[in-house]
Amino acid sequence: MQSRSNEQLRDDLLDLLRENPGEQFKTNEISKMLAIKSDSDEYQDLRRTLDALESEGLIVRGSRRRYGLARPVLSEVEGELRMQPTGNAVLSPAANFDLGDTVLVRSRNISTALDGDYVRVRLLARKEGERPQGEIVEIIRKAAHQVTGTIEHTRQGFLLRPEGAKLKRDVFISRKDLHGALEGDRVRVELYEWTDEYLQPEGYVLEVLTKPTARAGAFDNEAIVSELNLPKQFPSSVEKEAARFPSAIPPSEIEKRLDLRRETIFTIDPEDAKDFDDAVSLTHEDDGFVMLGVHIADVSHYVTEGSQLDNEALERGTSVYLVGGVIPMLPERLSNELCSLRPDEDKLTYSVFMRVDPTTGAVQSSEIKKTVIRSVMRFSYEEAEQRTKTGRGKYAKLLKEMRALSLKMYERRREAGSIDFESEEFRFKFDEAGEPVESIRKERLGSMRMIEDFMLAANRAVAEFMVRIAKQGSERPFIYRIHAEPDPAKVREVALLAKTLGYKLSPEKPTPKTVQKFLESLKGKPEEHLLNQLMLRAMAKAVYAEHNVGHFGLAFLHYTHFTSPIRRYPDLIVHRLLAEYQRPGGMNREREHHYFNLLPEIADQTSALERRATEAERESTKLAQIHILKDKVGEEFDGIISGVTHFGIFVAIASGAEGLVHIRELPGYFEFDEAHYSLIQKRGAHGSEGKRYRIGDPVRVQLVKVLEEKRKLDFRLAEEGATPMNADEGTRSALPVKLRRQKLHHERVAGRPRKVPRPKPRSR
C-alpha cells in the first residue's frame, strides 16, 4: 500500500477519532485501524502526527499514552431539563455534547421551560473547577406536562395549587376547563402551551382524583406519577397481545433447547416479589471446579421486535417500583405469569454457565445457551439466609456452598478494585387500609450479596462473549452498561477536603483501587458519611451505550445488563442480540446495519427512562416517610446532618425522612463554609468561632411542620429541658418573637387577593 502524505494521514487520523467520540486508543491500536505496519516509516509519521495534533490542542493524550479527541469549547448545549426542589433546574447534556458534567440553570434563567423539556442552554462564564451554569435560550421540544394538585376558587378564578416541587407557579383553569371539578377537589391537570413567563400557566382538568370528603390524608403516588409523566394502564391492544400466548410451552420449542428440568434450580428474591426473572444452580465438576448456572427468563421469546408489546416496553423502558405498588414494563400476564420463574412450572430461559475455581472465585470459562427449567423452590432472601446460617432445611448445604463461592468471587472482585458504595434502602409496613405506618432500613443480607455477585458475573460473562465475537472481525453492534471515570475537578475537591481532615486521596487520575482504598480508610470514622457522599457525587452515573468504555465502579473492562429482562428493556435487547449472534452463520450485514442505527437511540432513551424511574422511586420513598410523620409534629428525633447550605442544615432521622433546620432557627450568627460543607457560628467582637455544623454530625431535632404536598419537613434543634411543642402551635411557637411578627405580616400579605393577569382565551 502506498504511504499517505502527512496531510492525508492527519485527515485520516482525525476522521478515525471523530468516528469514536469519547474513546481513546493506543498508538498501535490506531495504526492497526489505519492499516499502518508497526515496522514501517509511516508508523513513525503517525507518532509525529499524534504529537503535533496534541500540541495544537486538537487531540488529548490520556493515561498509558492513549489518544482521543479534545473536547470542543462549547458555548451552547442541548438536553433534558430536570427541575429541583430549590426552584433551579439541572440539564443533562445529550450524548453528542461532550461537556462532561450537568449544567445548573438557576430559576431566573429558566423562562417557561418545565420539567422534562428538551432545551438549548447558553453556557455562562465560570471559574475553573466550578460546575457549569447556563440560561435557556430555546425550548426545542416540550414534554407532556401533567400536574396534580388541589382546586381553589379565588377572586381571579379557579387555580390549581400544585403538589410537589416540579412546578412553582399556580395554574389558571377556566370554568369550562374544570370538567366537573369543584373547589377542594384533588385533580390531575394537563397544561396548555405556556410561552409567557409573566403570565400564569394554564391547564384543563383530566381527572378528579379525590373529593374533600374522601379518605382525608390518604397516601398515594398520583402526584409523582403526574409530575414525571409515568405510564399507567397498558393499552388494550397490548393486553390483548399478551393474552394470546398459550400457558403451556409447545414441545417443539422445548426440543430446541437444553432441558434442565431435572436439575436443582431455584430462585431467591425479596419477600414481596412477584416477578422472578433469575434463578441459580451449582454443580460439581470431576476436576474440582464447580459449574455456576444463572438462568434468566427468556422474555425475548414472547416480546418480539416490532410487536405492540415491544413498542410499549421501549416506551416504558423499565419497571418503576413505588411504595405500595409497581408500574411494570410488561403486562402482568407476562411479568407475573408466563415469564416469571415460578416454582414447579416449566419456563423458557437463557442460561449462562460459568466454570469457576471454588478456591479463588475465578471464572475459567463460560457458555451461554437457551434452556428450559423447572424451579424447585422459591426462596425469600430471609429464608435463604436462615438456612445458610443454621445448615437446616431443604437445600441448606447447597446454599452454604453457593454462599462460600460468592464470597470468593466478591473478594476477587474487591481485590481488582471494585467499589462497594453502601446505599441506604428502606422497606415499609402498612396498616389494613394500605397506609404506610413504619419505615425500616433494609438490612443487607449475605443472601442478597450472593445473588448480586452471581448476577454481576453473568452480566460480565455475556459482555466478554461479545468481545470474543468482535475479535473475529469488525466491530459488532451491542449495548453495554458503562460507567466513565469520575470528573477530575470533583475528585480534586474531595481530595483537598480529605487532606484537611487527615485522609489521603490522590487527585490525579484516580483508579477504582485508589477510590476503594480511600473509602475503606473512612470506615467507622466521624468523617465517613461526609466523604462517602462527596465521593459518590464525584462519580459519573452509569448509563447504557452502544460503545464500550468499561465500568469504573465495578473495575470491569466489559459489562452489560442481561439478568432482568422482565423489568429492564436493555436486557431484552441483549437477549435478542445474543440469539442472532448464536445462530448458524451469525448476524448478517443487513441486521448489523439495522442495529448500528437503532442501538444509540435505545441506549439514550432507556438511560433517560432509568433516571426517571430512579427519581420516581426516590420521591415515593420520601413521600411515604413524610406521610408517616404527619401526626408526629412536636416529637423529637435523633438524626444525622445530611446536607449543609447557606440557608440551613438538612437532617436525616432513623426512618430515612429528611428535613430542614432553617438558619433562622440556629442561635446566633452563622457563616457558610462552602469548602468544608459547614455552618460555623461567629461570636464576639473578633468573630471567634463557636458551634460548627457539618455533614455527618449527630443532632437531636424537633419536628416543627409537615408539608406533605410539598414533600418537605421543617425541624428545629431540640434544646435540653425544652417544653415539647404542641402540635397545634405549628411553626409559630418555634420562632423568636421578632421573626414571628415578620411571619405574621408575610402571612397577611400572602393572604391578600393576588392580581393575576387574565389569560387571553385560547381555542381548545
Give domain status of residue 232, yes or no.
Answer: no
Q: Does residue 122 sit in the same domain as residue 103? A: yes
Helix (H) or strand (E) holding 39: none
Domain boundary among 48, 69, 90: 69
Give domain status of residue 720, yes or no.
Answer: yes
Query: Is residue 546 a contact partner of residue 477, using CB atoms and an 8 Å limit?
Result: yes
Distance of CA 324 to the CA centre of its chain: 20
Backbone dihedral region for residue 585 (phi beyond 0: left; psi -120 to 50: alpha; all else: beta) = left
Q: What is the pLDDT of residue 762?
A: 43
Distances (CA, A) of 330 to 47, 295, 340, 455, 567: 53, 19, 11, 21, 7
Q: Does residue 15 sit in the same domain as residue 122? A: no
Euclidean distance between CA atoms 266 and 278, whole angstroms: 9
Cα torsion 335, 341, 343, 348: sign: positive
Q: What is the pLDDT of residue 96?
A: 63
Q: What is the pLDDT of residue 630?
A: 92
Q: What is the pLDDT of residue 667?
A: 84
Give domain status of residue 128, yes or no.
Answer: yes
Q: What is the pLDDT of residue 751?
A: 39
Q: What is the pLDDT of residue 342?
A: 96
Q: What is the pLDDT of residue 213?
A: 67
Q: What is the DSSP string of 243-310?
A: HTS-SSPPHHHHHTSEE-TTS--EEEE-TT-----EEEEEEE-TTS-EEEEEEEE-GGGTS-TTSHHH
* Angle formed at CA 653 by CA 652 and CA 659, multiple of 5 degrees: 50
Euclidean distance between CA atoms 342 and 351, whole angstroms: 16
The domain of 644 spans 629-730
Instruction: Give the Cβ contact number of residue 321 at 10 Å.
Output: 15
Q: Does residue 269 sit in the same domain as residue 128? A: no
Q: What is the pLDDT of residue 219?
A: 86
Cα Rg, the chain, nearest whole Å: 29
Q: Does residue 356 sit in the same domain as residue 460? A: yes
Q: What angle do helix axes 569-581 and 589-628 make, rounded to 10 degrees?
A: 160
Domain boundary among 141, 163, 191: 141
Euclidean distance between CA atoms 621 and 612, whole angstroms: 14
Cα torsion 431, 433, 439, 445: sign: positive
Q: What is the pLDDT of residue 688?
A: 67
Q: What is the pLDDT of residue 532?
A: 82
> b/e per residue, 497-520, with b = 16+ CB within 10 A?
bbeeeebebebeebebebbbebbe
Q: Does residue 26 sit in the same domain as residue 137? A: no
Q: What is the pLDDT of residue 402?
A: 97
Give domain status of residue 553, yes or no.
Answer: no
Q: Does residue 104 sit in the same domain as residue 21? A: no
* Angle formed at CA 420 by CA 466 and CA 513, multiple of 5 degrees: 75
Give domain status of residue 400, yes or no.
Answer: yes
Q: Does residue 59 sit in the same domain as residue 88? A: no
Distances (CA, A) of 452 to 255, 449, 683: 31, 5, 52
Give domain status of residue 513, yes or no.
Answer: no
Q: What is the pLDDT of residue 521?
A: 87
Query: Is residue 622 a contact partner of residue 712, using CB atoms and an 8 Å limit?
Result: no
Cα torsion 395, 400, 405, 410: sign: positive
Residue 686, domain CATH: 2.40.50.140
Distances (CA, A) of 331 to 71, 235, 312, 563, 585: 44, 10, 10, 19, 34
DSSP 8-state class, residue 178: S
* Angle formed at CA 609 by CA 607 and CA 613, multiple of 5 degrees: 115
Q: Does residue 380 sit in the same domain as residue 344? A: yes
Query: Is residue 685 a contact partner of residue 623, using CB atoms and an 8 Å limit?
Result: no
Find cell 469514536 and name the residue: 20
Please list, in sequence order, all residues whose beta carbon lies within 8 angstroms of the beta carbon of residue 710, skipping any fewer than 6 positions away.
Answer: 163, 164, 165
Helix (H) or strand (E) holding 146: strand 146-154
Query: Is residue 327 a contact partner of residue 320, using CB atoms and an 8 Å limit?
Result: yes
Please list, in sequence order, all residues whose beta carbon lies within 8 angstroms of the beta carbon of residue 80, skipping any fewer than 6 positions away.
Answer: 91, 92, 94, 116, 117, 118, 119, 608
Give domain status of residue 426, yes or no.
Answer: yes
Helix, strand, coil share of the chain (percent; to 5): 35, 25, 40
Domain boundary among 23, 41, 69: 69
Grid cell of 550 as nine digits: 468499561
Pairing type for strands 203-210 and 258-259 reads: unpaired
Residue 454, SS3 per DSSP:
helix
Q: Does residue 418 sit in the same domain as residue 283? A: yes
Q: Does residue 633 sit in the same domain as residue 669? A: yes
Query: Is residue 618 a contact partner of residue 495, using CB atoms and an 8 Å limit?
Result: no
Euclidean distance between CA atoms 448 and 381, whole angstroms: 6
Q: What is the pLDDT of residue 731?
A: 37
Euclidean distance between CA atoms 556 and 391, whole angstroms: 34
Q: What is the pLDDT of residue 129?
A: 60
Give domain status of residue 26, yes or no.
Answer: yes
Residue 42, domain CATH: 1.10.10.10
Q: What is the pLDDT of residue 433?
A: 86
Q: Does residue 286 sit in the same domain as residue 365? A: yes
Residues of the chain falling short of pLDDT 50 = 720-764
Work out how many domains the chain is built from and give that number: 4
Position 248: which residue type? A
Helix (H) or strand (E) holding 318: none
Position 222: which residue type? E
Q: Does residue 321 sit in the same domain as residue 454? A: yes
